[in-house]
Amino acid sequence: MRRVVVTGMGGVTPLGDSWQSISTALKAGRSGVRVMTEWDQHAEIQTRLGVPADHFTVPAHYPRKMVRSMGRVALLGVRATELALQDAGLLDDPMLKLGRVGVAYGSSFGSVEPMLALGKNLAQGRLTGISATGYIQAMSHTAAVNIGVYFGLTGRMIATSTACTSSSQAIGYAYETIQAGKQAVMIAGGSDELNICTAAVFDTLYATSTRNEDPTGTPQPFDRDRDGLVVGEGGCTLILEDREHALARGARIYAEVLGFGTNSDGAHITQPQKETMADTIRLALADAGLGADAIDWVNAHGTATEHGDIAETHATREVFQRAVPITSLKSYFGHTLGACGSIEAWVGIKMSRAGWAAPTLNLRNPDPRCADLDYLQGAPRKMQAQTFLSNNFAFGGINTALVIRCEM
């Protein structure tokens, strides 16, 4: 089977759109969490915390006609893809329009405002105000479709909408597509926007942090004093490519995707199962043809929810049978939902290539109910780490694991 490499990466995150700005924040221990005064009108919601990409605006060079079909979810995805294609040296390549480049992209759902407007009009028995562009902005595959249209892509289209595993599944399915020789290049990743509706859903499940007076002290993945997640937003794209194709065009290679595993719990919508989590990791390792001892560190899902943290750490310990180094990047970016898998893969590749890994922010007292692992705390750790595992686990019991080896 064909080997699959990463030749381009780009994203929009609350900590910036460049690796320089992101690495500066990670090394300084600075998160993007802030108090969302915009939510003050919603008196019943307990959390007032979010991690917005406040700096992001519609790029001036985007044609108005193209932007009409894009809500914030699509805009984040399109911009991330533009940056990744530019990084890969493919932004203006005629190959984009020859059917050799496909898209695998995910979001939890589309943009909320047009969705609410559609529902409001229908509830009032009105059809005025309902538009095709509003529906396109709201549909769950809005990012994937708008990426295809904006860049004129004519290859296969895979739209994933599996909550927190949306972009990690997209990367995995893109990897499998290239492995099978169906496409030479795949645009893979995900995007999601921050809105009150998402925060409210987690709030009703008592899963959000309510430390509204201490925004920089939360979330706290794996910590005994954690009180829940903080919702964020962003978009991130990886350009995956057949290795021989990449070498033939003289592309820079960042990393190689070695293995992918995905399964589902089949047990409970919101309570993760450590057994199937562990099985997912084993599937990814088997796909990569590696033993657990080949993994240098684990890029955890690490949401700072009680059930999630405990189940994930015990699943990890069960597979590795050692105190493998582990960290959670959600302590900086918040939970970016459909974008988290691709953002974490991007940052994981960049950190590994640079020889260090960020600690879990706000982790001071590891929860004794979590498994015995090497939790990165305090300062960034220098590591000669070439191969890492990136895990994501979603509502509905959907699990993913990616094995990535960096070109050093």
CA 47 vs CA 90, 302, 362: distances in Å: 42, 19, 18
Q: What is the dihedral of CA 193, 199, 201, 207, to 10 degrees?
A: 130
Residues with a known catalytic role: 164, 301, 335
CA distance 398 to 378: 31
* Cα 146–Cα 8–Cα 282 angle in degrees, nearest 5: 95
CA distance 174 to 183: 9
CA distance 226 to 212: 13
The pair of three-digit structure tokens given for residue 85, joined into one six-digit string: 């294609």
User: Judging by DSSP bridges, how do beta strands 387-394 and 398-406 pair with one another?
Assistant: antiparallel
* 187 within 8 A of 103, measured Cβ to Cβ: yes
Helix axes 274-288, 306-320, angle to 10 degrees: 40
Helices (H), 196-299: 196-204, 243-248, 274-288
What is the DSSP code string of 365-395?
A: SB-TTS-S-EE--SS-EE----EEEEEEEET
Q: Tell me the torsion sign for CA atoms 287, 290, 292, 296.
A: negative
* 404 within 8 A of 168, measured Cβ to Cβ: no
The pair of three-digit structure tokens given for residue 166, joined into one six-digit string: 């949306």
CA distance 113 to 115: 5
User: Judging by DSSP bridges, how do beta strands 101-106 and 34-35 pair with one another?
Assistant: unpaired
User: Burial of 210 by CB count in 10 Å (0-12 exposed, 13-18 middle, 19+ buried)?
Assistant: middle
The pair of three-digit structure tokens given for residue 369, joined into one six-digit string: 């109910």
Looking at the DSSP assignment, which residues form a beta bridge with residue 400? 262, 392
Using DSSP, state whether 101 is helix, strand or coil. strand
* 375 within 8 A of 222, measured Cβ to Cβ: yes
